[in-house]
Amino acid sequence: TRFFFTATSRSEETCFQTLFPVPLRAVLFDMDGTLSDSETLHWRAYSNVFKREFPSFPANPISRRYYNTNIGGRTKSYSVAQILPNLPPSEVSRICIELEKEFEGLARKDLKCLPGVKEVIYFHRFHCRCYVPNYQQLLQEVVCAGRQIALVTNAPPTEMAFSLACLDLSNCFDVRVAAGDAPQPKPHPAPYVEGLRRLGVRAKEAIAFEDSLAGVRSAVSAVW
């Protein structure tokens, strides 16, 4: 476990102080819900598709609480199979494709980076100095010191590429790990183990930014 200690005030010449047991060499980011509020769009996609494809589904219309409890942070194939255990595998695959299409339609208009995220990553990758709100200064201090950055997501590769393009972050990661790149998805530690392996760093030399319980469990269990 890493602990962060930050000053409550600072001069412009003094960076936030961050304490790590060993030097930090890499930062690993989740995608959905961490780089952007895409979880809201995924929730809307599930709600729209399930109302259209399964009008008698008991949880329709899918609430945000139901989504967070049963779907968020997991792969589409896992979620659909768990929610509809009697659905044939071919239908699970078809529904996953419909969910991805629905999400892309929503994302083209509404997908945006969360405040400060793009500025922080651009500062690291392109050394562009942008205004970052105060609550993002710790993140900037962690990321912009020449460390490697990786993306670790349960999203399929096509959806990952689409989302990064929408967010103007396509060229900002040294390593990407998507669904299928590891033998098991989050909450299994395998995706973060694969990210660490590709970066060539040990778990104690890295930090992960996550928004879901499944992602946190994956990250803290990863050992490499």
Two structure tokens written together for 213: 């319980």
Pairing of the two strands 26-29 and 148-152: parallel
Q: What is the largest CA-CA distance in the chain?
A: 61
127-131, 196-200, 206-210, range with greatest mean pLDDT: 196-200
| Higher pLDDT, residue 117 or 134 | 117
Mean pLDDT of all residues belonging to the chain: 84
Edge-first strand listing for the sheet containing 148-152: 175-177, 148-152, 26-29, 206-209
Other CB atoms within a 10 A radius of the CB of residue 101 amount to 12
Q: What percent of the chain has pLDDT over 70?
A: 79
